[in-house]
Structure 1
Amino acid sequence: MIQNKKLFRRILLMGILAFLFCIKSNAQSLSNKGSWEKLNEDAASYGKPAWRDMLVYTAKLHQKSTHPARWPFQYEWEEIGPGYNMSPAFGHWDIIHQALDEMRSYPEHALHQLLNNIENQEPSGMIPGSIWMSGGNAQRNTTEWNKSTEGHPPVWVFAVQDYIEFTDDNSILKHFFSPLVRQITWFENNRKAEGEGFYYNDILLKKWESGVDEGVRFDQSGMGPWACVDATSHIYALYNHAVKWGKIMGMDTRNFEKRRDELRAFIMKDLYVEKEEMFYDIWAVKNPAQRHLVFESMWPIVVGAASKEQANQYIDRYLMNEKLFLTEHPIATVGKTDPKFEARMWRGPAWNSMTYWAAIGCLRYNRPLAAKKLLEMALDDTAKQFDRTGTIWEFYDSLGGKPENLERKPDTDQNSPCKDYLGHNPVIEMARMYDGLNHN
């Protein structure tokens, strides 16, 4: 009888604990949902009053851009923006910026976009770049995407980490850890540079998987599979997150740590010109004639691969320099004094998503005032252009002019920035970040 009573009490205690766990899990699940209404409400409260019409418009544009689940997605999916000339399209780093914009107000929807992003990972480990959905402006008959040669910058890990930290929900790692390891394997097998580091195939095929279409770094042809500063930094970040998530899951992360540290050492030493206090692609490090002041140089700071000294030197000498990247609408994608600066897509104009990453880099190295200045200046001009035109633009004139006067792709019939474009405009999250910095 005594043994039975002990067993009964043990079972009862386990039942109570399980019940409490279920209550906690259900409460957490409910708190992690959010809604479009919450996104609209938050957008109307963030930042300066002068920004709020633009922010509310962006919140509504997120909802307008979202469609019911259909192949190849399990969940509702959000297109890059209804004004995109190739819409409807999903993916690339655009969807990551969109998820970041919604994370605090509608985490359930943001999580669904991150799950959609990895859903069609190839057996090789490649995660597709853009998925071109049927219908829409482009009037495609089928849904299709490149399955072998065009990936995208793997910044999705930052959004997953953001979700974990905001919701305190580590359970989602069961969905993301394996895709992370498989994507690392794909990069090691398919984008490993000669010697060390990684490259994007822009350098060989000009497919623009780096997300920087027709960027000035790749004007010269005939280069080999050489280390790119952005790609190498991004893969460093993959390894760094593999270490973080692996430890949460109780795994042995020593191999991930070793590879991460090797890449950091390579970035700090071999992709850095000490005299100029600047990070470059490996070919520009070796040949000064190929050096240009491009925003991709900030990625070692964004991902935390730079030393504290390197980061502070870069922020002071370049990012906060009004003659280079701190333009009227920051950040210029090419430094204002660089001979290749022009009013053309990715060759001088400003993209709010890149301003967001620059601010993240500043915060990573405890430079809140620099981050605040970048966010404020970018949102001031975005709101100004919205008040004038009533739309959110794909990219902006870094010199403060009219976006519609910029060139996009001169050799196409779409030679001006797209309107109603969400993919590079995490402006709601930028305004929330600004508020946090303003109150500290």
Structure 2
Amino acid sequence: MEQLSTWGGGQLLAFSGLDGPTDYRSGLVARTATAGGTGVEIMLPAYAHLRFDAATPHETDITGDSLAVGTASGSTRMVFLDAHHVLIEGPCAVGKLPDELRSVSRGDRMLVGSAAHFDDALLESDFETTWSARRRWLCDRRGLLTGEPEARKRTAVKCLSIMKTQVCSPEGKITHRWTTPDRWPHRNMWLWDSAFHAIGWRHVDAALAKEMLLAVLDMQHADGRIPISNNPFFEKTSGYTQPPVLTLAAALVDELAPDDEWLAAVYPRLRAYVEWDLKNRDTDGDGLLEWAIEGNPGCRSGESGADNSTRFDSATQLDAPDFNAMIALELELLAAIASRLCRPDEARELLSRQQTICRLMNERLWDDDAGLYIDAHAGTAERTGVLSYAGFLPLICGAASREQAGRIVSHLSNPATFGRPLPIPTISASDAGYKKDMWRGPAWVNINWLVERGLRRYGYTKEADRIVTTTCEVIERMYAQLGSIFEYYDDEDALVPPELDRKGANDGSRWIHRVIHDYGWSATLYVDWTLRGRS
């Protein structure tokens, strides 16, 4: 297996549902220490700092569930035995533990675990056997990357390691294996994250990719609604949802593992979710959908996925290009599934509705002066003037004419708007609200993935290839430098991700103000780009 030799703070560590039962409530989740030299910080079920050495290591070998470091104090190794215990060999110091955690030591060994499930006898576990078992899954997938350049291979192995520890076992209300965006702090199952996870997993384990989508559908309400996030023990779910990309994910998984029986089972549920959006997110009845708007200035529209985007600063309902492009694509893909399942009348109806939404986007959201689709205030059709990534997304559903597509693509060579060193910024660089802050400027891997898909639909192969190449190169370089795959990246490619703001600040004491490390869809979509055409 490629050795993952980059040390850096914030890399996530957890037990994988591929290796056994996980535990949402009491399971250990840790990260490499972000300060204080070499060590590990346990983040869940309570905080503790395990210190290996005061300096950074001179040698590192780290995966999502095992690590080995060489320091001035000696060599230290750590491995997850199960969801509740880590076994450590070598120099390690720990202070007083919180009540939720326990430890026991003998010689150069230390066992640390969740107090609710602590088993002292595991201190005598066979370290070598467990170490090999945790690494076997990655080792068995080396062949997927044969022939790739070294930087691509190393980064892809890191992404596969993240993907492995994303997986949680069936538990509580979730009856299938499921995934999280990151085991900490986003420990729940999120709707559109799960879809993007499945898109990468289809190359590695298509059956598991299908399970991930079924897990989301486990939480569907009788009226078709799927909440923004879920966990195995939610008593009350959010009234918000998330961007509709489940049918896209299902279609792409099926592309590599065709299965009419599975499609027939999920089709009515996927359609019910789309119908819920169409019924409940058109507040002004004009045929175009609006994201729900919240009162929180740091998260005006969590439902859109773009929590703090400049688009939503007015805190008003907007007919949104991204929402309508996604729902139009879902309708188009549902029509294709209906046709395959020999339901021609349903296919025609779905396609007709897709075409209506595309027409309405062109009538109300296309701005000819800007050469881009722009949000419009619901009820008035007055466009906001904010140029954003959302304006590119009607390419994914075929709404744009050839001329409109050309106008949109021209922005990719305009440094004043979206032609940045790392395309595409989530807000135009010329917008007064552009900042180095989450959805107010930085580039996101999932948006680049969607835009790339739209560009290929219109034959803009060179531009699509540039987005993929540039995005992958930045991911690779940041991984080699810092050891993590990040939530978002600087569109100017000047600041490293931890220097970017998150929701108005960059505060190491609060996770909400720090870019997330080892982020799920950044990993899975990198893998999709790497393995597409090889599976």
Same fold (TM over 0.5): yes
Distance 2:341 2:433 in 1: 47
Residue by residue, what CA displacement relative to the aligned partner does 1:204-263 show, whole Å, maximum 9, x if unpaired?
883510100011111013x34x42111111221222122111111111123223222211
% identity of equivalent residues = 21
Q: Distance in 2 between matches of 1:39 and 1:366?
A: 37
* In the alignment, structure 1 residue 160 sits paired with structure 2 residue 243: no
Q: Pick from 301, 304, 307 the counterpart of residue 398 of structure 2.
A: 304
CA distance in 1, matches of 2:279, 2:366: 25
Q: Is the 8 A contact 1:39 1:106 kept in 2?
A: no
- Would the aligned equivalents of 1:203 and 1:218 in 2 still touch at CA under 8 Å? no
Partner of 1:274: 368
Deviation of residue 286 (structure 1)?
A: 4.8
Which runs of 5 or more residues in structure 1 are unaligned?
Answer: 1-34, 134-141
Matched-pair contact (CA < 8 Å) for 1:39–1:105: no
1:199 is aligned, of 278, 285, 290, to: 290
Aligned pair in 2 of structure 1 residues 54, 212: CA closer, same or farther (>3 Å)? Answer: same
Look up the equivalent residue of 1:341 and give its one-letter code.
Y
2:357 partner SS: helix
- Aligned residues of 1:192 and 1:198 also touching (Cα < 8 A): yes
Counterpart amino acid of residue 288 in structure 2:
G
Q: Matched residues in 2 for 1:280 and 1:235: separation? A: 16
Please give the alpha-carbon distance, in whole angstroms, between the structure 2 residues aligned to 1:46 and 1:76.
Answer: 31
- Tell me the amino acid that sits aligned with residue 185 of structure 2: N
TM-score of the aligned structures, taking structure 1 as reference length: 0.82
CA distance in structure 2 between the aligned counterparts of 1:45 and 1:352, rounded to whole angstroms: 24
Please give the per-residue CA displacement for 1:77-132, whole angstroms capped at 9, x wherever unaligned: 222123x423x221221111111112122111111101111111111111121124
Partner amino acid for 1:421?
Y
- 1:176-214 CA distance string (max 9 Å, x none): 211122113212221114222111102788351010001
Q: CA deviation at 1:38?
A: 8.5
Q: Which of residues 427, 430, 434 is equivalent to 2:526?
A: 427
* Distance 1:367-1:197 versus aligned 2 partners, 3 A rule: same
- 1:146 partnered with 2:244: no
1:167/1:129 Cα in 2 relative to 1: closer, same or farther (>3 Å)? same
Counterpart in the other structure of 2:82: none
Larger % of helix: which? 1
**CA shift in 2, pair 1:277/1:389, >3 Å:** same
Return closer, same or farther for 1:39/1:184 CA change in 2, 3 Å cut-off.
farther
Secondary structure at the counterpart of residue 209 of structure 1: helix
Indicate if the aligned counterparts of 1:131 and 1:145 stay in contact, CA closer than 8 A. no
CA separation of 1:431 and 1:62: change in aligned 2, threshold 3 A: same
User: What's the offset of the Cα at 1:37?
Assistant: 5.0
* Structure 2 counterpart of 1:384, from 465, 474, 477: 477
In the alignment, structure 1 residue 263 sits paired with structure 2 residue 365:
no
Match of 1:50 among 151, 163, 184: 151
Give, as a single letter, the amino acid of the residue that structure 1 aligns with 2:225: M
How far is 1:266 from its partner?
0.6
Q: 2:221 aligns with which of 113, 122, 125?
A: 122
Q: 1:291 to 1:277 in 2, by over 3 A?
A: same
CA distance in 2, matches of 1:376, 1:406: 22
CA contact (8 A) 2:425 2:491 kept: yes
**Count of residue pairs the alignment pairs up:** 386
Q: Is the 8 A contact 2:301 2:308 kept in 1?
A: no
Partner of 1:233: 325
In structure 1, give the amino acid aligned to 2:515. Answer: P
Aligned pair 1:85/2:177, yes or no?
A: no
Query: Cα gap change, 1:390/1:311 in structure 2, threshold over 3 Å: closer, same or farther?
Result: same
Deviations along 1:56-89, whole A, 9 cap, x unmatched?
Answer: 011011112212211222222222123x423x22
Unpaired stretches in structure 2, ≥5 consecutive residues: 1-135
- 1:7 corresponding residue in structure 2: none
Q: CA 1:126/1:402 → structure 2, altered by over 3 Å: closer, same or farther?
A: same
Q: 1:267 to 1:45 in 2, by over 3 A?
A: farther
Partner of 2:497: 403
> CA 1:50/1:156 → structure 2, altered by over 3 Å: closer, same or farther?
same
